[in-house]
């Protein structure tokens, strides 16, 4: 959480799509997702960083993040070139740290030692699921055990560990997603990202979808599952860095998205559902004239609900529903009065 006293956090993503990636996970068309046609040359990476830095207020906490493909799968001299550029910014103090994402089966002691020597502070692994049947059907080419082994190595070097997960993959179920979330916690991740599986043009999933052998989960199911896993992560103190796919322009224009539970405000929908549970548990069977609900300031929009969804549901029971932001409340505290 940002407060008045803590610096604002910014991330400079440098996408490296499918560079040297020999796999073809059913959901993946990295070029479409990142909106980038090819990996940037190291010098282009510098321009991306410079352009983004120019928009970031001084005294912010800024991180360069190499996302997209399989960073440790590219030749080490190329990794070094990207990381050396990032290090120039770390050394001159404009950037605080470096993070990257890669595949769990491309993590070895040697690779992590090298990354640590290049000032990488955080590694995110695309776990996607920790259920081996789901991993197999998704064509990931690694197992849950690979994720566990890679996690141990990363943690043994004192680096921050992120484990990303997807919901709604082939053979996935809500129970399996919840199992994955619990395993992510067990493997020691301090952060995660939760993405709904979408059918993107040009992927194997698109072919399966058209053949009728893959049916994406509905938006309602995806939000319901996201709500459950977010609650599990929150209770365990695992930071959720993102919920929902980054809405790249290409996806929003609809040219890449074929099907699936895409929503621009997916995170807001999931957080509104968490508040729906809180409110309806607290209110139980009560109905009446008016209900007055106070919620923390930073949560008030979620308490009211996306598109006032929670307020509308309460208006089916109460003639009047009043939400107020209360600076004195924290977390997801709520105070409810009636008359």
Beta-strand relationship, 257-259 and 199-200 = antiparallel
* Span between the terminal Cα atoms of the chain, in Å: 35
The smaller minimum CB distance to ligand SF4, of residues 126 and 170, is found at: 126
Q: What is the closest distance, in whole angstroms, from the C-beta atom of residue 25 to ligand SF4 in the complex?
A: 3
The smaller minimum CB distance to ligand SF4, of residues 204 and 259, is found at: 204
Q: How buried is residue 221: exposed, middle or buried, by Cβ count under 10 Å (0-12/13-18/19+)?
A: middle
Contact 88, 64 (CB under 8 A): no
Q: What is the closest distance, in whole angstroms, from the C-beta atom of residue 268 to ligand SF4 in the complex?
A: 26
Q: What is the closest distance, in whole angstroms, from the C-beta atom of residue 7 to ligand SF4 in the complex?
A: 32
Rounded CA gap, 125 and 144, in Å?
12
Q: Should residue 225 be labelled a site residue for ligand SF4 when binding is judged by CB under 6 A?
A: no
- For 122-178, give the DSSP string: EEEEEEE-S-HHHHHHTT-S--HHHHHHHHHHHHHTT-EEEEEEEES-TT--HHHHH
Of the residues 32, 103, 227, 267, which one makes contact with ligand SF4 according to CB under 6 A: 103
The smaller minimum CB distance to ligand SF4, of residues 22 and 158, is found at: 22
Q: Which of 138, 133, 136 is nearest to 25 (CA)?
A: 138
Q: Which of 207, 213, 210 is nearest to 170 (CA)?
A: 213
Rounded CA gap, 146 and 165, in Å?
15
The smaller minimum CB distance to ligand SF4, of residues 20 and 232, is found at: 20
- For 97-124, give the DSSP string: EEEEEE-GGG--HHHHHHHHHTTEEEEE
Structure tokens at 118: 């290049």
Q: What is the closest distance, in whole angstroms, from the C-beta atom of residue 39 to ligand SF4 in the complex?
A: 11
Q: What is the closest distance, in whole angstroms, from the C-beta atom of residue 229 to ligand SF4 in the complex?
A: 20
Structure tokens at 50: 């410079």
Number of residues that bind ligand SF4 (CB under 6 A): 11
Q: Should residue 70 be labelled a site residue for ligand SF4 when binding is judged by CB under 6 A?
A: yes
Scanning 17-25, 86-94, 183-191, 240-248 for contacts with ligand SF4 by CB under 6 A, the matching segment is 17-25
Q: Which residues contact 70 (CB under 8 A, 6 or more apart)?
A: 19, 20, 21, 23, 102, 103, 106
Q: Mask: binding to ligand SF4, 113-132, rule CB under 6 A, as x and -? A: -------------x------
Q: What is the closest distance, in whole angstroms, from the C-beta atom of residue 31 to ligand SF4 in the complex?
A: 10
Please report which helix (H) or strand (E) contains residue 242, including its range: strand 239-243
The smaller minimum CB distance to ligand SF4, of residues 32 and 176, is found at: 32
Q: What is the closest distance, in whole angstroms, from the C-beta atom of residue 213 to ligand SF4 in the complex?
A: 19
Q: What is the closest distance, in whole angstroms, from the C-beta atom of residue 71 to ligand SF4 in the complex?
A: 10
Q: Should residue 69 be labelled a site residue for ligand SF4 when binding is judged by CB under 6 A?
A: yes
The smaller minimum CB distance to ligand SF4, of residues 103 and 294, is found at: 103
Rounded CA gap, 145 and 105, in Å?
10
Q: Mask: binding to ligand SF4, 20-59, rule CB under 6 A, as x and -? A: -x-xxx--x-x-----------------------------
The smaller minimum CB distance to ligand SF4, of residues 21 and 238, is found at: 21
Q: What is the closest distance, in whole angstroms, from the C-beta atom of residue 41 to ligand SF4 in the complex?
A: 19
Rounded CA gap, 199 and 260, in Å?
6
Q: Should residue 18 be labelled a site residue for ligand SF4 when binding is judged by CB under 6 A?
A: yes
Q: Interface residues with ligand SF4 (CB under 6 A)?
A: 18, 21, 23-25, 28, 30, 69-70, 103, 126
């Amino acid at each position: 959480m940002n407060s008045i006293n803590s610096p604002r956090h910014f991330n400079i993503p440098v996408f490296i799509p499918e560079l040297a990636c020999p796999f073809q996970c059913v959901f993946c068309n990295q070029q479409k997702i990142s909106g980038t046609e090819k990996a940037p040359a190291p010098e282009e990476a510098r321009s991306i960083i410079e352009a983004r830095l120019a928009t970031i207020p001084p005294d912010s906490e800024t991180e360069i993040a190499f996302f997209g493909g399989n960073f440790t799968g590219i030749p080490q001299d190329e990794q070094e070139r990207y990381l050396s550029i990032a290090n120039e910014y770390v050394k001159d103090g404009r950037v605080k740290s470096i993070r990257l994402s890669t595949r769990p089966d491309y993590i070895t002691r040697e690779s992590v030692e090298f990354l640590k020597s290049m000032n990488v502070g955080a590694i995110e692994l695309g776990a996607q699921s920790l259920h081996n049947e789901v991993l197999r059907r998704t064509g990931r080419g690694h197992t849950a055990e690979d994720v566990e082994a890679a996690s141990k190595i990363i943690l043994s070097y004192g680096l921050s560990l992120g484990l990303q997960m997807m919901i709604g993959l082939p053979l996935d179920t809500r129970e399996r997603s919840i199992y994955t979330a619990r395993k992510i916690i067990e493997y020691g991740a301090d952060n995660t990202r939760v993405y709904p599986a979408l059918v993107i043009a040009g992927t194997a999933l698109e072919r399966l979808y058209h053949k009728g052998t893959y049916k994406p989960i509905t938006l309602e199911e995806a939000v319901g599952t996201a709500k459950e896993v977010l609650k599990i992560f929150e209770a365990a103190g695992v930071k959720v860095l993102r919920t929902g796919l980054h809405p790249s322009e290409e996806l929003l224009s609809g040219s890449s998205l074929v099907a699936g539970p895409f929503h621009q405000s997916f995170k807001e929908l999931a957080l509104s559902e968490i508040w729906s549970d809180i409110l309806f548990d607290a209110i139980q069977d009560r109905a009446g004239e008016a209900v007055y609900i106070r919620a923390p300031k930073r949560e008030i929009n979620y308490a009211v609900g996306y598109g006032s969804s929670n307020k509308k549901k309460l208006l089916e029971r109460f003639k009047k529903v009043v939400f107020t932001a209360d600076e004195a409340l924290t977390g997801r505290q709520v105070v409810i009065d009636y008359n």
